[in-house]
Structure formats: C-alpha cells, structure tokens
Structure 1
Amino acid sequence: MHRQLSIAPLTALALILSTGIASVASAASPGTPLARGAASGRAVEWYDVRDHAAAQSASALQAGPRVTAERFLQGAAAELRLEGVDLETKVELKSGSSHTVRFTQTYRGLPVIGSAVAVRVGAGGAPRAAIVDVARGLSVSTEPTLDEGAARLVVEEQLGMSLVQSPAIQLAVLPVAEQPGKLVWMVDIHQGTRHQTRYLVDAHGGGIQGIRPMAMDAMGRVYQISAANTPEPVDVTLTDLVTSNPQRLTGWNGNLVVTNYVSGSQQNSYTVEQSLGPNSGEDFLYDPPADPRDPTDGFAQVNVYYHMTRIRDYFVDTHGVDTSPASWKVTAVANLMENGQPFDNAFFAPEAGNVVGGQFSSPNLLGIYQGTMNDFSIDSDVFLHEFGHYISHNAVGYNQGQFGMSAYGLSPWSGAIDEGIADYFACSLNGNSLLGEASLVPLGAGRELQDTAKVCPDHVVGQVHEDGEIIGSLGWTLRTALGQEIADRLVWGAVQSLTPGVSLGDFARGLLQTADELLTSGEMNEEDVRTVEEAIAARGLDDCDHVLEVTPGEDRNLVLMGLGTMAQGFGISCEQAKGFLSLHSFFHFSARANAGDTALRFSVQLTPVGGGPLEWSIYARRSQSVSMAPSGPLGFPAAQGYDFKVEGLNATDGTLLIDASVDPAFEPGIPYYFVIENKNCPTAQLRVSAESITPPSEGEGGAGGTGGQGGSVPQSNDTPDDSGCGCTVAGDEAPSGGRWAGLLGLGLAAAAVTRRRFVRR
C-alpha cells in the first residue's frame, strides 16, 4: 500500500495536519489537529513552517541561519507547544544552500535525555521546516538523593562486580510517558570500548531506569580501497600532517592521532603507542606485512590515517562540516586486540575519556581490530563506516543505539538509520555497493547495498545492523538513479533533521524535505522528486512510523523478536532472562471501528521460528497509544498506561475483543491502540489483524447464531483461559543472535541479576 508521509503546516493561528508530502512541491492543505505520539503514530513532530516564516521581516532573515532559527522558535513557541521548554543552540549544519540549526533541550540546566529540535533554513534565509522531539510538562526536583558514589554502587551491584575503571557520571532528566520525568545519574562504564554502556540510575529512588550501549560499533603507501578491491598498494600524499620531530601520524591540527595497540582490553582500558615514523626519507612507505595478522603492522597505521583523512576532507569540502573544534578530536587505534587476542570487529566510541590515557586521551575513539583472518585496517569500508558514526555523533547526535527509547518503548530506529547511513557513505565514497570485501565478506558478513529485498515493516526485526540495510540500500538506489552528488546531498540532508525519537519513516521525511529544498534551488526537478518518492514507497518507508494502522482485510505481517535471541547476546539462557526481562513489539498498532459498529476484534497469530515456550500479552488503549515506562531491574520498558489487557498467553493465537461488556465500553468511530509484550523464547513471524463487528441486519437471526467466541482469548482484565487455544511449542531456543554478541555491559548486568535470583532460591 502506498501511503503519504504527513508533515504539519504551521500558521500563526493553528497547528494542522497536511494531506502529506507525497508531492513536496505542492502546498500543504488543512486537516485535523496534530497531537504528539498517540494520534500521529510518531514520537517526532514535523512542521511545514514556510507560511509562518513568510511573515518575518527582511532584516530578520538576513541575520544568519542560527539567529533566524532562534528568533523563529521564540516567535512560534505557542504554536509549536514549546512554551516552558528550555532549548540551547547546539550546532549549525550546511547542506548545499540550505542550513539546519539544531537545539538540545535542558531542564534547570540539566540535559533532557533523547530530546532535540531542528530548524531547516532555506537558501533565501527563511525557515522551511521545524522538527520537534521534546519532553513537555517536566516537573522534577534536580537535587539528587543519591550522590555519585551511591549511583556507582547501584551499577556495581547490578553488575555483581566492582568497576576497575572509574565511570563517567552526570546528572540528567529522563522523560517518562505521562509522568513529570525522573532525575537520573548517567553512569558510563567501559568508556572508549565497543562495550561502552550507559546506566541510568534513579537519583531519588536508586533503581536502574535503563541501560544503553553507547559504542557503535607526507607520502604513504596504502590500498586505494581495500586488499580485495585494489590489491596493489599505491603511494599517495598524506595530507594535513602536523609537523613534528620525530614525525608521527598526527593530523588535522592535532585532532587525529593514529596509534597502535600494545596491550589491555575493553574492561581494563588499553595501552597504545605512537612510535611509527617515516621509513623512506620523510615518507611512510611501508609495505603490507607478510603475515596479515602482524600486530605491529606499520602499513595498517598509514592506511588508517590516509582513509580517515580522505573521508574527513569529503565531509568538510562537500557538506561544510566543521571538524576543527576540540570536541571532534579522535584517537584511532590500529591492530587493536583484546588482551592480545584477535577480534573480528571495528568500532567507534564517543566520550572515550581516559580509556587510552595520557597524551592519547580523546573525546572520540575509533578502534580497528586485528581480526582472526585479516587485519580490518586493510579494508577502508570498515573504518569509513565507523567514521560515519563519528561524523553523525559529533555533527548531529541523534543515535541512541540498539536500546534507544521513545514514548513507544524500545526504539532502535535511530541506531538502524545510523548504521544504514554509515554503510551508505562508506560505499558511496568508495564507489562500490558491497561493504567489506576484504574483511566482512570472508566472514560471511558483507552487506550488499544493491540488495533491495527488505521492506518496512515486513522485514524489520529490531536489530540495528539488519534494519539499517533498508536505509543503506535506499541511499544506494537514489545514488544509482540520481547520481552520487544529489544522493549524497539527500542522505546528509536527511540526517541533519533527525532527532533521538525518530522512526524509520522520519528518515524518509528528511529525504523529502531535502528534495524539496533542492527542487526550490533548481538542483532537482519534479521527475527527480518523484524518483525519491517512488524509492521510499518501494521500501515501505512511507508506512514505517512507530504506530502501524491495521485496517479490516489488510493483515500486518512482521517479525516479533524472541527473548532467546537477546538472552544469548547476554550470555544467559532464555529461561534465566525471563526472570527480569521482557520485550515488546517494536511497532505499536492502531485500528478504528466505523460508526455503527458494536465491537472491535484485534487478533494476533504467531508462527515461531525455532522452538521454545511462548509467553505473551496484548495491551490496548482507546484514543491514544499504550504508554511505556521503565520496568524491572534493567529498566526495560513495559506497558504502563492501558485500558484493556490479555496476559499470560502461551498459544500461538490470541484475540482481544472490545465490546459493550468491557470497561470502558466500546465506542465506535474512535481509534484503539495495541502493543504486544512477550517473553517468548523463539523469534516469531507475527500476523496482526483487526475486525470491526457490525450488528446483524433484521431477519438474519440475531447474534445468537454465530456460535460465540469459540477458542478466542478473553478480553479486558480477566485472567485468560488458554485451554483449547493451541499447544505450547517446545524444543530448542531461538537461533544464535550473533549480532548481539557484543553486549558485554548488559550481559554482565543480566548475569548478575540471574546470580542473585539463584541465591534467593
């Protein structure tokens, strides 16, 4: 089904929903009032502000994008519902002749987690769009009951071990749906490693409110692309080196430092050195080592410097990104290992702190591992991908990672988008759609951006690398159709608009917003815009927000992640994980009964992939989405605000019926919202349907002839009777979740909870 992506126009009098931006050149038309989250199915609000901005004076528009955006937000605060919301200007980004000015939200001087605003300013200097993702109605004491030391102890108790490296600790405000917010300590452990994890500790009550992985994963002789694509080394100019005696691989006026691993691990910090100097006069002409697993390989270090500088220059020259501030300093570690053992990976870690210590301490760390088969430093695809995370983190800062949260609970979409755009820019710069020929492909983990088989929501699984393939391949489709220059502009322009609470559909809105700007500037034409719209629709991103509409006769087919997959990433069994962890459908659902209907039936059918027991529930709410809040010892979100529930299902089919017998009673003509929680061990194919029930017409014999509900699951708050509803699936747990294997910080927490449970028994 082709659906329109809605964007709301803003006038001085009202805030209204448009019919969409399926044709971005046309003016938005009036519709119904916009409400955040529940009514729109999105956590992020998009506004077309061109009419509002047209009323601004010429002098106001000549003040520059930053001042223009600030003045616009002040003048439109009432319409944007930003009164009482404190914003701080973060950064101004350039996209061709347009600009994006980004703001972060604060509360009494503290950062508000996951909140941001972006204003798109067109070539003429006038605001064109506002993207709002803020927490309203905050009211929380900013005086903590627990101090930093107590917060650290909470984390150590959760882990079941003392922290060797001192964590970074900072106060912040955590928005919670339908609550005034919570004051939390952000406690970051394993800083600067691929296992960097942030614990959110209630600064008043002491409980864990969430856990979020933070890592993302002269002349010189180099491979132009990789050992697989361009196996013959070439001599190139190493630009922007800082002159020193002895000469070292430090560049960008000191903001890039290339080092080599010496010892250590992510748990106890790394020891690195920078001892590589020129080997041919003033030049770094090292040959590839005879043994690709040589841990002191100088060629790898030179290769890293060259390609990181190449992509840095691309973002500076093409997109106007300013990488000169000290906050952009990055330490790159070549030949990285874990306690001297190879590892098949590379990662970017923000806020690296003192993980490498001393003169190499840096706010950003990029680690390129010595792999089990090949050195990952010989494949520029891999660390160009990691550079994509580095650039988006420092320029935009929207990526919440695998365990990001929004009003809809677990929300891995910002992480998936970031994985996709990192794939795209690595491949686009290298001119090849296959990511990782020399490093990932031999391991069976290469990603082909020409593969367009995945669509949303059918193939979305909730894992950031898997779902990011939709984003990366969409970018490559646009590159093939429109050329690199326009496609790169579209993708980077979309990224500038993103906020932490985005859906995959918001990335599509960003593409269309950028296409609209390029159409206005004459750099795209109407046919080009239609190409973008068609590519978005072909990948299902015109129907990929947090809430999916379910209409009679149109079943939704999705994937419901099983607990067994995540538990294996934690290093525990599914049965152990059940004691403290549950998941939910990453999408919520909505259905609307017609006027005159007497009931609405919401049905779910699971087809397990693999074996293991089922344990799941359905929650529903009238008029607005089921609200989610942190729950359990790890703070994973669970349903909190709902009107109806069916709990403890262990069959493959379940039904929730809303009719006149429930409280509140069924009301025709209003939307109802649903979410599925599960502790199922296996991942399952999920089929969701909705049926509106109409009264029988005269002469049909009345409702008594239907035979009742049969084996359907009881509704409302009654304890469900699963007899006759199907059989429990038994057998092995779900297949291994290899993509989850790096969740060390969460795995330690899960193991500690499990140990305590066994002790209590």
Structure 2
Amino acid sequence: MVDMRFARSRIGVGGRVLGGALTLAALVTTSAVFADGGDALERHARTSIGQVNQTTRGIALVRTATDRFGDGDTIVRFAQTHHGLPVIGRGAVARISKAGVTLRADAKVESDLPVTTLPTIMADAAARTAERWSRGSASAADAHLVVWPLRGGGSRLAYAVLPKVPAGIPSAPRVIVDAETGDVLEARDLIRFARAFTYPANPTSTPTPDLLPIALTPGAKLTSDFIDSNNCIDNKTVRPVNMYGFNAKVHVCDMLQTATANSTDDFVYPPVDDGSPAARSDTFSEVSMYYHASRAYDFFRKLSGVADAQVVEDKPLRLVANLQIPSGLQSGNFAQAADPDRALEPFSNAFFSPASGGLGEIFAQIYGVTGGGLWFGQGPNRDYSYDGDVVYHEFTHAVVDKTLKLEAWHIDARGVIDAPGAMNEGLADYFSSALAKDPNVGEYASKDLAAGLDAIRKLDNQDKCPANVSGEVHADSTLFSGALWEARMSLAEDDRMKFDAALYKSMRENAGSGDLGYDDLGKLFLGTLATDLPAGKTALETALTNRGVLPSCERIFEYTDHPISPIDKSLGGFAAPGAQTVGLSGLAPGLIQVHAKITGKPAKVTLQFDAFEGQGSASPFGNATPFTPVVLAKFGQAITWSVKGGKASHDADATAPVDSTIGGASFDIPDGATDVWLQVANKGESDGAYARLTVAFVPQPASAPATTEPATTSTTSTTTTTDDGGCGCVTVGGSSRSSRNSFGLAALLGVMATIAGLARRRRAS
C-alpha cells in the first residue's frame, strides 16, 4: 500500500506559476518497491512527479540521471522530449529517501509545443546564420533540432548550433536559430570566465612546494578515468577559423601531455613562473592543475557520499594549462594572428567551456555532442593553474553545468537581472572557498591583474541587493556568495561540511530549468536544509533576508540629490542587455528602477543619464540593432514586468525615447502623484550600459520660470554615488566622451576586452 499525504502549494509549469496545485509532501512506501532495482525506482519517481503535477501526464520524460547520496537519498532526474527532440531546460526531479519516502518532487514542463517537428529552414542555412554570430565555423552537422521554450510560455522548433572553435581560442559559442523563420532566438558565448582564488597550496600562502598525494591516481601520464591533463604547447600550428562569417587562419597551441611519472610514480618538476619564455610551457603547471582538479573532484564526491561519483558532465574532463592566444587576435590583425613565427600572447584568465553547448544530458544523449573542459591561462605575471582557487572555481562551474545548468539572465517583476550568471560565479567562489577554508579569493593570480591587488573577490562581505547589483556577473555574485559564506561560518565547525553537502544536494534536485532568480535558488537551498540541517536553514534564511535576496531582490534605488551609478567605479555603468541577449523579441526590460518622491506640484519629471554603446556580445556586422535606450515611468507604485510567448510587457504609465537635447526623457506628472518610479530599458538587440542617473523636477510654468531643480526626499539612499571620473562614455544626446567599448573589429575578435572587465576587486567587509 502507498500512503500519500498532500499539501497545497504553487508549482511552476511551462514557465508559469499555477496556484493551488498539489505538492507531494511525502509519499511513503516500503522497501519492497525497490526490489526489482532501477526500473521500480524510476516508476516510483514518475508516480511522485505525476501526483505533484498532473500536467506531466502525456509529456514525454526521459530519465537522464540517478544520483545516490551517502545518507541513502536518491535523486532521479528526467528531461522532457517532444517527438524525440529535447525540450531545452524542461524536466522533472524526485528526491527519495532510503526508506522510500518522496521528500521532494518537482517538474517544469512545457505543454505548448510545436505542432510539427519538420523544419522549414534547413540545417546548413541555420549553420550559416550561426557563423555570423560566433567566432567559430559551422556546418549542417553542428546544427541540432531542439524545442526551444520561450520566456513566459510557448516554444519554437529551433536549431541549436554549436560552431567549432579551434583549441586555444577562448570561445564556446551557442546560437539558437528558429527552424521556421531563420531568426536568431539567442546567441551566447558559454565560456565561464573567472578570477584567481587562493588556498593554502599556492605560491603566496604556501611558498614551499611539497610532494602531496593526488586524489585521483593517474597513470604514467596525468590521465585518469575522470580527468585528463594537457599542456598548451606552441608547435607553430596554424588552423582555419571562421569568425562572425569571415574565414581566417590563426596560430594556436597544441594540446599535449608533457608530464611523466618518475621511477617512484611521482610527478616532480620545478616551478617556473617568472615571465620567461620557459614559463609559457612549464610542466609544473600541468602537474599543479591536475593535483588541484583531482582534489576538487574528491571534495564533491565527499559531499555526495559516493566514493566513485561522476560529478561533472565529461568523463574524462579535459584540463589545459598554459593557454596563450594568437598574436594580433585582440587588435584584429589577421596577418599577424596567422603568423606561426610570432610568439603567442599571454592569456590573463581561466575559463570553463561546457559540454554539449550547455544544453544538458539529453542533448548529449541524442546527438553525442560533448567536449567540455577547464582552461587556465599563462598570464604575463602569473600562471593561473598554480593557484588552487582558480582550479576549484572553474571545476565548480563544471559541477553547476551538470546540475543547475544556470543561464545568464532572468526576468522578474522588476525587470531583467543577471542572477543566474551571478549565482554561477557565486557558487564557484563559495565552494572554492569552502574547500580552501578561506574567504579571500585570488591572492596569487590576482597579481597578474595588478601588483597591489591582494584578492579578486572576498566572501567575507556585507554586499546586498540592490546596492551591489550592476549587471556584471562577477560583481553581482558577492551578495549571494557572501550570504552563503556568512551562514556557513555561523554554524558549528562540525556542521559546515553538512551545510556544503546540503547545498550540493539541492543543486542536484533542480528540475531542469536554469532560469532562476536569487530567491528561487535560495528557496531551493532552504528546502533541502530544512530536512538535512535545520540550523543551516535558519542561518541561510537570515543571511539572505538581511541582504535583500529574500523575499526578492527588488533592485529599486532611492533617489536623493546625487547621481546613481554602480557602487564599483570600475564597472562604469549598469548593464542594459539587448533583446538578443535575454532571448526576447521587442523591448528588453531594464535592470534597476529609480524611485523618487514628488514634493510640491512640479509639472514634469526628467531622468537624465550617460549611455555606453557597444556593450555585450552581439555582433555589429549588421546582424543586430544597436543599443537603443528608452525610459519608462510609473506613478504611485513600482513598474511591474511580465513575459509571455517570448515577449516582455510592463505596466508603466508612460514610455519615452531619449531626447538628445536633455540627455534623457521627460514626463508630465499627473495631479496628486506623490511618487515616481523610472527605468531605462533597451529597445535594441545589442547590449549597452548607463550610469549617472539623475532625477529632476520641472516646476509649473505659472509658479516659476522653467528651470530644473533636483528632487528631494527623506529616504536614505542605499547606493554609493560616483562622479564621472573619466569613465569613458557617450552622454545621451550630449557631447561625446571616449567610448567605453568601441565597435571596432578589435572589440569583436579581442576576447581580452571582455576579460579585462571581469577582474573586479570586491570590497572587504
């Protein structure tokens, strides 16, 4: 007999939230249910999911993973398909205890599916379209039919095109092309860049090398069943590459294994990280990278309680040390980039390139597209593979890719937010620091960025929403990672590893969608902690609430009499992603809102700001409309956004384009209005940014001359204001300053321009 106990709650279905659905609080069965093994477990999980969400009936769900934990819990995950095609980001999950109790079941499925799976656009045409949006070449074999859910419900038959990029080029493009219209639904580079992170075994904190045991024992070379280590060696190889539809040749390094075990099966090589030519191919880098990656693998296995667990998508996971890039690539000099006699240039970063284009296990099962890896640069002053935190951080990105599959942007009631990407960075920071037992990240490799930089990010902080939100994922990660670290450190030492394990288990409980806000993932964590570590739930809930993450990250800045800019001056401005970046058609919502009190009886309210052109990854070769800021205004309450069928809508009272004569937009104030909320949205497909938001009120003509005066308010601002400080921007409709990021070919081909923006030193608490 099966004893079912239900509770009322709200379950997300097809991108929508349905009130009054039944959630399975506990489905109790006997161990006999599992007597015939995995098939019975799968049936049990399907039954649990069906009881929770009856819309899954008739939906094709394919089991993609069964994760077992040391405490006896089992998580069974499913991905949705439609006539054999993967429905990206949709699926279901059930967590079942050792006793057979269903502790949690959830599903996010799409019911509004394409009528036909026969494309109008052929695969080769989709591949040609994708080439214009990427640094890689693509053929029909790289275009894979999928069902692509739209934000707000509905879906399209589409091609997921994964252009090929030569090894040594830091790019992992994915372009989604509508299989009926040929439109580009999304274009993203899936590279996960990061900064250096410290831990006791790096040249700064532990300057004396030691012979240490390797967690995953290799053979004669640094290869095991789960990780494979390589060195980026310059053998003067030249390979063809297609960048944004243009064919070229580039000089790249070759992936070789240079480390060999000695007579005692040890890998012993001297460190060489002095900026010399020898440092660009030293074998110590390969050994260091393998050691730290194997330690990270062992760490997550211990969190799962399964000694031989595969914790990342790839088996083995490829690791590459000493990455350097073609000379001239940054400046767009193709002749120089193709010259094998020119030395490769330093690469001051590290990144994770996901398997299967970041589309999940079902995509890999159907198409066999794999090939994720961790890449570590050889910078001019520091080798990134020497720093254990860098390796741990990038490894965690691979773990997130297998579990949460976080996307880049999320849309909530207040607009767009980079929470998925920021939480990806925050989790990578958090687990790196948990492994290292140190909240400061990047002591060693940070010196590659600036000699006086003692760390790249610090988890021991008090960062909050909205003050620390800017739209840059690394900068926006610290309010989330800081909350996790704060909660962890408030626990007894014996409970901290349990806290880490509960978070990791939560990540594996995700039903399939990576479109999550800060609050969504926070609540997922709290649900697991409630059963596994109640003290941890209390600590994390308190930290998330105090930092403005719960109940939601509202992102409303109170205006006083100072211009509003990101709290970190180096960021320049708030991000304004284009419709192409966030996967919408039409208007892309803004990131933040500005609230101002209306005193007296002014006639108009004006929002002025500086705008930055040419931000983001959209190609400017005529393939995307430029950043086009528009201003929204609402009186009486905050602007609310909603999404349906891939289009965003809002309830603002008025929308206005930018008036070049005032560098902003002006709105009539209705009688009796006491408050106004203003937001900058983006009507273009390309990304942009804005800063120095200033609110001014224009008096009634009858009471005073038409002058502009600042607004006043009794509310204390939660932002840090900055002056222009030579940030380099284009004032909307005003005089031109130096552009923050030009539209030149260098900006397209130079990944270093992007990298430079990622090195953000976070404030100490």
Q: Per-residue deviation at 1:509?
A: 0.5
User: Could you say which residue in structure 2 is the equivalent of 1:493?
Assistant: 505
Q: CA distance change for structure 1 residues 489 and 47 in 2, over 3 Å: closer, same or farther? A: farther
Tell me, what secondary structure is at the counterpart of 1:457? coil
Q: Work out the CA distance in 1 between the residues paired with 2:448 and 2:487.
A: 28
Q: Work out the CA distance in 2 between the residues paired with 1:378 and 1:178.
A: 44
User: Could you say which residue in structure 2 is the equivalent of 1:627?
Assistant: 643
Q: Per-residue deviation at 1:512?
A: 1.0
Tell me, what secondary structure is at the counterpart of 1:506? helix
Tell me, what secondary structure is at the counterpart of 1:464? coil
Q: Work out the CA distance in 2 between the residues paired with 1:273 and 1:134.
A: 43
- The answer to whether the 8 Å contact 1:185/1:201 transfers is yes
Tell me, what secondary structure is at the counterpart of 1:440? helix
User: Could you say which residue in structure 1 is the equivalent of 2:468?
Assistant: 459
Q: Which amino acid aligns with 2:504?
A: W
- The answer to whether the 8 Å contact 1:605/1:686 transfers is no
Q: Per-residue deviation at 1:102?
A: 2.5
Q: Work out the CA distance in 1 between the residues paired with 2:514 and 2:568.
A: 22
Q: Deviations over 1:362-399 (max 9, x none)?
A: 622211110121111111111110000112212x1422
- The answer to whether the 8 Å contact 2:215/2:298 transfers is no
Tell me, what secondary structure is at the counterpart of 1:194? coil
User: Could you say which residue in structure 1 is the equivalent of 2:174?
Assistant: 198
- The answer to whether the 8 Å contact 2:557/2:593 transfers is no
Q: Work out the CA distance in 2 between the residues paired with 1:409 and 1:84.
A: 34
User: Could you say which residue in structure 1 is the equivalent of 2:90?
Assistant: 115
Determine if the alignment matches structure 1 residue 183 to structure 2 residue 157.
yes
- The answer to whether the 8 Å contact 2:503/2:525 transfers is yes
Q: Per-residue deviation at 1:82?
A: 2.7
User: Could you say which residue in structure 2 is the equivalent of 1:346?
Assistant: 350
Q: CA distance change for structure 1 residues 495 and 419 in 2, over 3 Å: closer, same or farther? A: same
Q: Work out the CA distance in 1 between the residues paired with 2:26 and 2:81.
A: 26
Q: Per-residue deviation at 1:485?
A: 1.0
CA RMSD of aligned residues (A): 5.2
Equivalent pairs, count: 622
User: In the TM superposition, what are the counterparts of 1:714-753 in structure 2 within 5 Å?
Assistant: 730-732=734-736, 736=740
Q: Per-residue deviation at 1:481?
A: 1.0
User: Could you say which residue in structure 2 is the equivalent of 1:598?
Assistant: none
Q: CA distance change for structure 1 residues 549 and 132 in 2, over 3 Å: closer, same or farther? A: farther
Q: Which amino acid aligns with 1:392?
A: V
Q: Per-residue deviation at 1:298?
A: 1.2
Q: CA distance change for structure 1 residues 120 and 231 in 2, over 3 Å: closer, same or farther? A: same
Q: Which amino acid aligns with 1:295?
A: R
Determine if the alignment matches structure 1 residue 432 to structure 2 residue 426.
no
Determine if the alignment matches structure 1 residue 93 to structure 2 residue 77.
no
User: Could you say which residue in structure 1 is the equivalent of 2:317?
Assistant: 330
Which of 255, 280, 285 is equivalent to 1:272? 255
- The answer to whether the 8 Å contact 1:256/1:332 transfers is yes
- The answer to whether the 8 Å contact 1:615/1:648 transfers is yes
User: Could you say which residue in structure 2 is the equivalent of 1:135?
Assistant: 110
User: Could you say which residue in structure 1 is the equivalent of 2:532?
Assistant: 518
- The answer to whether the 8 Å contact 2:632/2:655 transfers is yes
- The answer to whether the 8 Å contact 1:48/1:130 transfers is no
Tell me, what secondary structure is at the counterpart of 2:290? helix
Give unmatched runs, 5+ long, in structure 1.
1-10, 18-32, 354-360, 571-579, 591-602, 631-637, 660-672, 689-704, 712-726, 751-761
Q: CA distance change for structure 1 residues 746 and 277 in 2, over 3 Å: closer, same or farther? A: closer
Q: CA distance change for structure 1 residues 681 and 260 in 2, over 3 Å: closer, same or farther? A: closer
User: Could you say which residue in structure 2 is the equivalent of 1:214?
Assistant: 190
Larger mean Cα displacement after TM superposition, 335-344 or 165-174: 165-174
Q: Per-residue deviation at 1:128?
A: 2.7
Q: Per-residue deviation at 1:196?
A: 1.0
Q: Per-residue deviation at 1:122?
A: 4.2
Q: Per-residue deviation at 1:13?
A: 8.5
- The answer to whether the 8 Å contact 2:347/2:377 transfers is yes
Tell me, what secondary structure is at the counterpart of 2:300? helix
Give unmatched runs, 5+ long, in structure 2.
244-249, 327-343, 358-368, 579-584, 596-603, 614-626, 672-676, 696-701, 709-730, 755-765
Q: CA distance change for structure 1 residues 99 and 74 in 2, over 3 Å: closer, same or farther? A: same
User: Could you say which residue in structure 2 is the equivalent of 1:261?
Assistant: 233
User: In the TM superposition, what are the counterparts of 1:628-667 in structure 2 within 5 Å?
Assistant: 639=648, 646-650=655-659, 652=664
Q: Work out the CA distance in 2 between the residues paired with 1:486 and 1:582.
A: 44
- The answer to whether the 8 Å contact 1:156/1:162 transfers is yes
Q: Which amino acid aligns with 2:484?
A: G
Q: Which amino acid aligns with 1:138?
A: L
- The answer to whether the 8 Å contact 1:626/1:639 transfers is yes
User: Could you say which residue in structure 2 is the equivalent of 1:677?
Assistant: 681
- The answer to whether the 8 Å contact 1:103/1:117 transfers is yes
Larger mean Cα displacement after TM superposition, 291-300 or 302-311: 291-300
Q: Deviations over 1:246-302 (max 9, x none)?
A: x21112x26424334335689767521113223565322111126355122111111
- The answer to whether the 8 Å contact 1:172/1:184 transfers is yes
- The answer to whether the 8 Å contact 1:175/1:182 transfers is yes
Q: Per-residue deviation at 1:531?
A: 2.1
Q: Work out the CA distance in 1 between the residues paired with 2:425 and 2:347.
A: 20
Q: Work out the CA distance in 2 between the residues paired with 1:366 and 1:398.
A: 16
Q: Work out the CA distance in 2 between the residues paired with 1:264 and 1:474.
A: 47
Q: Deviations over 1:31-63 (max 9, x none)?
A: xx98986779xxxx9988454635x67755887
Q: Work out the CA distance in 2 between the residues paired with 1:460 and 1:472.
A: 13
**Under a length normalisation based on structure 1, what TM-score does the superposition of the two structures give?**
0.68
Q: Work out the CA distance in 1 between the residues paired with 2:58 and 2:693.
A: 42
Q: Per-residue deviation at 1:639?
A: 3.4
- The answer to whether the 8 Å contact 1:462/1:561 transfers is no
- The answer to whether the 8 Å contact 2:352/2:395 transfers is yes
Q: Deviations over 1:124-155 (max 9, x none)?
A: 43223334333232234211112211111122
Q: Per-residue deviation at 1:683?
A: 2.1
Tell me, what secondary structure is at the counterpart of 1:626? strand
User: Could you say which residue in structure 2 is the equivalent of 1:533?
Assistant: 541
Q: Work out the CA distance in 1 between the residues paired with 2:639 and 2:207.
A: 60
Determine if the alignment matches structure 1 residue 249 to structure 2 residue 222.
yes
Q: Per-residue deviation at 1:85?
A: 3.0
- The answer to whether the 8 Å contact 2:199/2:438 transfers is no
Tell me, what secondary structure is at the counterpart of 1:285? coil
**Under a length normalisation based on structure 2, what TM-score does the superposition of the two structures give?**
0.68
Q: CA distance change for structure 1 residues 153 and 249 in 2, over 3 Å: closer, same or farther? A: same
Q: Work out the CA distance in 2 between the residues paired with 1:308 and 1:96.
A: 22
User: Could you say which residue in structure 2 is the equivalent of 1:414?
Assistant: 420
Q: Per-residue deviation at 1:186?
A: 0.9
Q: Which amino acid aligns with 2:526?
A: L
Q: Per-residue deviation at 1:548?
A: 7.4
Q: Work out the CA distance in 1 between the residues paired with 2:104 and 2:346.
A: 48
Q: Per-residue deviation at 1:108?
A: 1.8
Q: Work out the CA distance in 2 between the residues paired with 1:47 and 1:558.
A: 42
- The answer to whether the 8 Å contact 1:347/1:367 transfers is yes
Tell me, what secondary structure is at the counterpart of 1:501? coil
Q: CA distance change for structure 1 residues 162 and 515 in 2, over 3 Å: closer, same or farther? A: closer
Q: Which amino acid aligns with 1:584?
A: P
Determine if the alignment matches structure 1 residue 364 to structure 2 residue 338.
no
Q: Work out the CA distance in 2 between the residues paired with 1:135 and 1:423.
A: 33
User: Could you say which residue in structure 1 is the equivalent of 2:386?
Assistant: 378
Tell me, what secondary structure is at the counterpart of 2:27? helix
Q: CA distance change for structure 1 residues 176 and 203 in 2, over 3 Å: closer, same or farther? A: same
- The answer to whether the 8 Å contact 1:449/1:476 transfers is no
Tell me, what secondary structure is at the counterpart of 1:337? strand
Determine if the alignment matches structure 1 residue 585 to structure 2 residue 593.
no
Q: Which amino acid aligns with 2:349?
A: N
Q: Per-residue deviation at 1:614?
A: 8.5
Q: Work out the CA distance in 2 between the residues paired with 1:379 and 1:747.
A: 22
User: Could you say which residue in structure 1 is the equivalent of 2:582?
Assistant: none
